Amino acid sequence: MYSSYTTKFGQLFYVIKHDDGSETHFTNESPYYQAYLKWLEAGNQPLPADTGA
Amino acid sequence: MAYGTVSADIIQSSVPGVSLGAGNASIMKNRIINGAMVISQYNGTNSVTLGAVNPQYTLDRWCFQTSQASKISTQQNQNSVTPPVGFSNYLGITSLSAYSSGSSDYFDVTQRIEGFNTADLGWGTANAKTVTLSFWVQSSLTGTFSGALNNNTGGGSGASYVFTYSIPVANTWTQISVTVPGSTSGTWSGASNAASIYVTFNLGSGSSFLTSTTNSWTSPGQYFGSTGSVSVVGTNGATFYITGVQLEVGSSATGFEYRQYQQELALCQRYCYAQDNRAGGIYYVFGTMAAQTSSNAFCIVPYAVTMRATPNSVTFSAANTFYSDPSNANYTGAQIDQLGKTTGVFTLTGTSGLTPGYAGRILSNNTAAAYVIWSAEL
């Protein structure tokens, strides 16, 4: 499952929440981003965006 | 004393496998990083079943491109075979099924070399230099295998050199050497931090990524292997092990360039910096803590080396594996605060009782293995 947040400096990060509680936070320049786009194309919906720390 | 001239591409010593080449240097001649498969920051010695995410980095600098999930498992020193003489590690690959690749499937393991490390080769110009790729390989399968050097460009500026090699005896290490004339066509990254040469070993890609034109440059074209070559993923349980990968200037393979461990690790850390105590230990220090609010704390992390670029992904272990001292705080969340090429800052959230402005340190707690992996891979 994916979610996202924007830092206070305005950078958008996407988050993969893994089953073991670990998380991968990535930008649109990451290889993970293409997988995220495919996931969206498959009709999935990300979790609501977090507000950021 | 006058300088002499040796008109040879290779100067062979009396010690087998030890030689000097035409690469203008006997150190840093190998454009491959972690060619001896020594560094494994992402997964240590754990086995990984590959998904369909591309690229997937396992051993440092080596990425898999797989179009189908759960067809390959990979691990450093998988199945504990004896490495070739002079090596302690290898990249192990096992096929998890007998998969018949479709035309658009791809399965390969690749090193994407940064432009700064290949610009002197002059590829894409009339002055392109010849290089030689050498490696040790072992497989449970025999026959003609294939790989490629390419620029990962499928359009008119694409260029691929597909090579074949033979593994005549199963489960026996074989050293392969492939000499590749410099590419005078295609678009190659110059002196920049972008990817330039992709050194690819085909593991069973489909026909869209295979060509029958071998041992010469094809442009345009993006190919990973040759038509009819052995497909590792096509045989359930098939193994493919590789180490000692070297790409050097010249028309002959010279002795493998062994680097000191710390030197190789630092080269890898330009692309991946793992803060990791999964191999053991407690209270691993991640960085300086500064309490931002009563519930959130910064962790400031200077990287080991300057990274290739600002990290494009960061992986955190579960937030409750982190801990701060003083305040003995435990956390429920982690987020990026700010990233740079030399320093990263993340924020731990969801605790209470911090005194804003107070400083300390962020640690792993005393029961769980915490890690943060900063990645600026190509």
Model confidence at B194: pLDDT above 70: yes
Tokens 């500064």 correspond to B290
Residue B233's pLDDT band (cuts 50, 70, 90): very high
For residue B16, whether the previous peptide bond is cis, meaning omega lies within 30 degrees of 0, is: no
Nearest to A30 among B52, B292, B313 (CB): B313
pLDDT interval class at B11 (50, 70, 90):
confident
Select the residue from B335, B337, B375 to test the A interface by mutation, using most A Cβ atoms within 10 A: B335
Rounded Cα distance, B160 and B144, in Å:
19
Mean pLDDT of all residues in B134-142: 98
| The predicted structure's pLDDT at residue B22 | 67
Query: How far from B198 is each of A44, B114, B160, CA to CA, in Å?
Result: 33, 9, 9
* pLDDT (tens digit per residue) in B292-340: 999 999 999 999 999 999 999 999 999 999 989 887 788 999 999 999 9
Which residues 6+ apart lie within 8 Å of B116 measured at CB?
Answer: B191, B192, B193
Does B54 sit within 8 Å of A34, measured CB to CB?
yes
Interface-testing mutation among A3, A27, A51, with chain B (most B C-beta atoms within 10 A): A27
Size of interface A-B (CB pairs under 8 A): 66
What pLDDT is attached to residue B2?
Answer: 66
**Tokens matching residue B220:** 């345009």
Lowest-confidence region among A10-14, B275-279, B355-359: B275-279
A26-52 pLDDT, tens digit per residue, is 999 998 898 888 888 888 888 766 655
Q: For B18-27, B149-158, B190-199, B325-334, which range has the lowest pLDDT when averaged over its residues?
A: B18-27
Which chain B residue lies closest to A36 (C-alpha atoms)?
Answer: B53
Q: Which chain B residues touch A11 with a CB distance below 8 Å?
A: 336, 339
Out of A7, A11, A24, name the one closest to residue B313 (CB). Answer: A24
Q: What own/partner pairs with CB < 8 Å and gap ≥ 24 does B14-21 have?
A: B17/B86, B17/B255, B17/B256, B18/B255, B19/B254, B19/B255, B20/B254, B21/B132, B21/B248, B21/B249, B21/B250, B21/B252, B21/B253, B21/B254
Q: For residues B138 and B238, is the Cβ–Cβ distance under 8 A? A: no
- Least CB–CB distance from B318: residue in A13, A22, A24: A22
Question: Residue B7, exposed/middle/buried by CB under 10 A (0-12, 13-18, 19+)?
Answer: exposed
The residue type found at B287 is G
Q: Which two tokens stand for residue A23?
A: 């998380």
Task: For CA atoms B308, B312, B318, B320, give the dihedral sign.
Answer: positive
Query: What pLDDT score does B1 carry?
Result: 57
Predicted pLDDT of residue B123: 95
Average pLDDT over every residue of B108-127: 96
| B79 DSSP 8-state letter | G
Among B52, B313, B349, the residue with its CB nearest the CB of A26 is B313
Spatial CA neighbour of B151 closest among B199, B104, B116: B199
Identify the closest residue of chain B to A21 by CA–CA distance.
B318
Region of poorest pLDDT, from B5-9, B48-52, B127-131, B290-294: B5-9
Average pLDDT value for residue range B241-255: 95
Mutate to test the interface with A, among B336, B371, B372, B375 (most CBs of A within 10 A): B336
Q: Closest Cα partner for B75 from B61, B57, B59?
A: B59
Q: Return the pLDDT at A25.
A: 96
What is the reported pLDDT for B112? Answer: 96
Q: How far is B376 from chain A (nearest CA, A)?
A: 8
Q: In whole numbers, what is the pLDDT of chain B averaged over residues?
A: 93
pLDDT at position A45, please? 82
**What is the model's pLDDT at position B23?**
64
**Structure confidence at residue B55 (pLDDT):** 87
Residue B52 confidence class, pLDDT cut points 50, 70, 90: confident
Looking at the complex, report in whole angstroms how far the Cα of residue B286 sits from the nearest Cα belonging to chain A: 16
**pLDDT band with cut points at 50, 70 and 90 for residue B368:** low
Alpha helices (H) in chain B, listed in sequence order: 261-269
Distance (Å) from the C-alpha of residue A51 to the closest C-alpha of chain B?
11
Q: Which residue of B has its CA nearest to A20?
A: B318
Between CA B342 and CA B340 the distance in angstroms is 6
Contact A23 B338 (CB under 8 A): no
Q: What ipTM was predicted for this assembly? A: 0.91
In the prediction, which pLDDT does B85 show? 95
pLDDT tens digits along B215-230: 999 988 889 999 999 9
Separation of alpha carbons B304 and B342, rounded Å: 8
3-state helix, strand, coil in chain B (%, to 5): 5, 40, 55
Max Cα–Cα distance, chain B, nearest Å: 75
Q: Which pLDDT belongs to residue B337?
A: 96
How far is residue B301's CA from residue B288's CA, in Å, rounded to a whole number?
7
Q: What is the pLDDT of residue A50?
A: 64
Say if residues B113 and B61 touch (Cβ distance below 8 Å).
Answer: no
Token pair recorded at residue B142: 């025999």
Chain B positions in Cβ-Cβ contact with residue A26 (cut-off 8 Å)? 312-314
B312 contacts A35? CB cut-off 8 A? no
Question: Which of B53, B317, B319 has the CB atom closest to A32's CB atom?
Answer: B53
Whether B319 and A21 lie within 8 Å, measured CB to CB: yes
Work out the minimum CA distance from B109 to partner chain A, whole angstroms.
Answer: 15
pLDDT greater than 60 at residue B100:
yes
Name the residue in chain A with its Cα closest to that of B348. A53
pTM: predicted TM-score of the whole model, two decimal places: 0.93
Of the residues A26, A37, A38, A47, the best mutation for testing chain B's interface (the one with the most B CB atoms within 10 Å of its CB) is A26
